[in-house]
């Protein structure tokens, strides 16, 4: 199992609806490829994790790098040999992080949406921690188990489970 975490910046701001559509299309592709994923977005900055068979994940990453809707795609970490998926609930889901109240309540008062735009997101521990906290929150809100038994590929998310606070 390979996990790639990357960050990127939208070249042009997209509406929530457009991002939800992008996520749904990604989930459908990922499901076919046995990939699970989770993303957080704030102000056009994305932090994304994709996991699955190493070849499928590398192919997907190479395809995404060429997507003109975002640029400055930077790999934050790449870990091979994982025994299980870290973000296995959905084939892809996204959580919008643009509410300071959410940051304050869930992540503590020293965090804010600005963190998503800061160089700290290039630190693997910070990026993984942020994704993990958002993921746990999203799973709890969607009443979804954080991992599917037997390492099955994740679900296609419902639009109402792509969180906007």
Ligand X SMILES: Cc1cc2nc3c(=O)[nH]c(=O)nc-3n(C[C@H](O)[C@H](O)[C@H](O)COP(=O)(O)O)c2cc1C
Task: Give the nearer residue to ligand X in terms of CB position, either 34 or 146.
Answer: 34
Per CB under 6 A, contacts with ligand X among 69-108 are: 69-70, 92
Interface segment toward ligand X; rule CB under 6 A; list 61-69, 82-90, 135-143, 157-165: 61-69
Placement of tokens 């934050």 in the chain: 76
The correct pick among 48, 116, 127, 131 for binding ligand X (CB under 6 A) is 48
9 binds ligand X, rule: CB under 6 A? no
Check: CB of residue 95 under 8 Å from CB of residue 41: yes
60 binds ligand X, rule: CB under 6 A? yes
What angle is formed at CA 25 by the lines to CA 43 and CA 38, rounded to 5 degrees?
55
Interface segment toward ligand X; rule CB under 6 A; list 67-75, 98-106, 108-116, 133-141: 67-75
Question: Residue 163: helix, strand or coil by DSSP?
Answer: strand
Task: Give the nearer residue to ligand X in terms of CB position, either 2 or 143.
Answer: 2
Kindly state the tokens that stand for 107. 């992540």
The correct pick among 20, 30, 36, 49 for binding ligand X (CB under 6 A) is 30
The correct pick among 8, 36, 93, 121 for binding ligand X (CB under 6 A) is 8
16-33 and 54-65 are packed helices; what angle lies between their axes, rounded to 10 degrees? Answer: 150
Check: CB of residue 1 under 8 Å from CB of residue 31: no
Question: How far apart are alpha carbons 125 and 13 in whole angstroms?
Answer: 27
Check: CB of residue 3 under 8 Å from CB of residue 79: yes
Q: List residues near ligand X by CB under 6 A.
A: 8, 22, 26, 29-30, 37, 46, 48, 50, 60, 63-64, 67, 69-70, 92
């Amino acid at each position: 199992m390979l996990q790639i975490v990357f960050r990127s910046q939208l070249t042009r701001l997209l509406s929530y609806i457009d991002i939800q559509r992008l996520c749904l299309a990604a989930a459908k592709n990922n499901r076919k490829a046995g990939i699970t994923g989770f993303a957080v977005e704030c102000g056009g900055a994305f932090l994304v994790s994709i996991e699955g068979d190493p070849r499928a994940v590398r192919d997907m990453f190479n395809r995404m790098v060429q997507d003109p809707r975002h640029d400055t795609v930077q790999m934050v970490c790449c870990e091979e040999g994982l025994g299980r998926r870290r973000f296995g609930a959905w084939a892809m889901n996204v959580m919008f992080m643009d509410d300071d109240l959410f940051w304050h309540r869930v992540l503590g008062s020293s965090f804010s949406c600005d963190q998503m735009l800061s160089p700290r997101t290039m630190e693997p521990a910070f990026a993984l921690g942020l994704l993990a906290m958002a993921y746990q929150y999203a799973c709890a809100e969607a009443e979804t188990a954080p991992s599917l038994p037997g390492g099955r590929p994740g679900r296609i998310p419902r639009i109402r489970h792509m969180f906007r606070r």
